[in-house]
Each structure stands twice: as structure tokens, then as C-alpha cells.
Amino acid sequence: LELTPRAPRVFVLAGERAESMGHKHVGTEHLALAITAEGKGVGAKALAALGATHNSLKARVETILAERL
């Protein structure tokens, strides 16, 4: 399986997002945030077409996580 050139950067960004949120794992929420932060790949374009910006996605993730507490 070959990764796109942007994929390694997205994985690094996802790890950084997880750490900044105090999480010890990388989940789909961190990957989605990383994809939107990277902003140039097909995934970012698909999320943008659905109206998901980095800031809106981050706010929604934080809301969902806060509701779990």
C-alpha cells in the first residue's frame, strides 16, 4: 500500500493534535483535524465540500468530548 506524499505529514499532525488535547492515542477525530489543518489533499477538499473547516471541526470535536465527561 502506497501512501500519498501528504499522508506522513497528516500522521504527524494527528499526533500533535492528540498531544495538544491531552490524549494518549490518535483517533479518527485527530486524523480529521490533521487533514483539515494540512488543507491541500483530497481529504481536505472532501471535508471542505461538506462544510467542515478546521475551526468548525475542532469546535465540534471539543463539544463532543466535553459531553462525554
In 21-53, which residue ranges form alpha helices assigned H by DSSP? 28-38, 42-49
pLDDT tens digits along 19-45: 998 889 999 999 999 999 998 888 899
Query: Where does residue 30 rank: exposed (0-12), middle (13-18), buried (19+ CB within 10 A)?
Result: buried
Percent of the chain with pLDDT over 90: 58
Which pLDDT score, from 0 to 100, does residue 65 have?
A: 82
The answer to whether 64 and 51 have CB atoms below 8 angstroms apart is no
Give the global pTM. Answer: 0.83
Q: By mean pLDDT, which of 10-14, 35-39, 63-67 is the weakest?
A: 63-67
